[in-house]
Amino acid sequence: MKKISLLLLLALAPGLFAGGGNRSLKGVDMPENLAFEGASLSLNGMGLRTKVVFKVYVAGLYLEKRSADGMEIAASEQVKRMELVFLRSVDGATVAEAITGGFDKNAGPALPALKARIEKFSKMIPDVKKGDRLVFIYRPGSGLEVLAGGKTTGKIEGKDFSDTLFKVWLGASPADKALKAGLLGA
């Protein structure tokens, strides 16, 4: 009987522990799974953003449906969460400029229609210190929410804006190719 119970426990163990735990990168821990407003999000991947030789932030991408295709993720109609944990202090204008610069490379002909919202988005990015978190959450039908320090700094309407924002990290011209690979689980 003990032998059967042990075998049964070993067979069930992966299911018992699935979804638990954290992943770590450069001293930043992120949970494998998050519950968010009734949705179950899984950590698709983590990556390190570097600029020249400086380590700027660790990013984690959470999705309802995991994928290794950046363009598919950007265009998907699911809850998406990008979390940036800063490894150094950076002023908000510099962070906003780095992110919005990626719109120029990834928006294509849609860029003129995004300009006013990009400007609004830039104003939502505060100065960050080492350890601070910036979070970008896309909710289908609701748009993008920006959070800093756990508080909402603003919202941007339009799936087109969110799609392009996620392309900044996951598109054909990402801000950092190694970061993109990490976020896609490579």
Contact partners, residue 19, CB within 8 Å, separation at least 6: 32, 33
Q: What share of the chain in percent tops pLDDT 70? A: 89
pTM (2 decimals)? 0.87
**Angle at which helices 159-170 and 111-122 pack, to 10 degrees?**
80
- Report the alpha-carbon distance of residue 23 to residue 184 in Å, rounded: 14
Domain boundaries, the chain: 21-183
Judge contact between 34 and 41, C-beta under 8 A: yes
Burial of 24 (0-12, 13-18, 19+ CB in 10 A): exposed
- Report the alpha-carbon distance of residue 39 to residue 62 in Å, rounded: 11
What pLDDT was estimated at residue 29? 97
Indicate if the pLDDT at residue 39 is higher than 60: yes
Judge contact between 127 and 90, C-beta under 8 A: yes
What pLDDT was estimated at residue 20? 65
Of residues 3 and 122, more confidence is placed in 122
Rounded to the nearest integer, the mean pLDDT of the chain is: 90
Looking at domain 21-183, its CATH class is alpha beta
| 158's tokens | 């339009």
Burial letters for 107-120: b for 16+ Cβ neighbours within 10 Å, e otherwise? beeeeeebeebbee
Region 19-28: mean pLDDT is 88
**Closest Cα partner for 94 from 120, 136, 128?**
128
- Please state which of the ranges 8-12, 19-23, 26-30, 166-170 shows the lowest mean pLDDT: 8-12
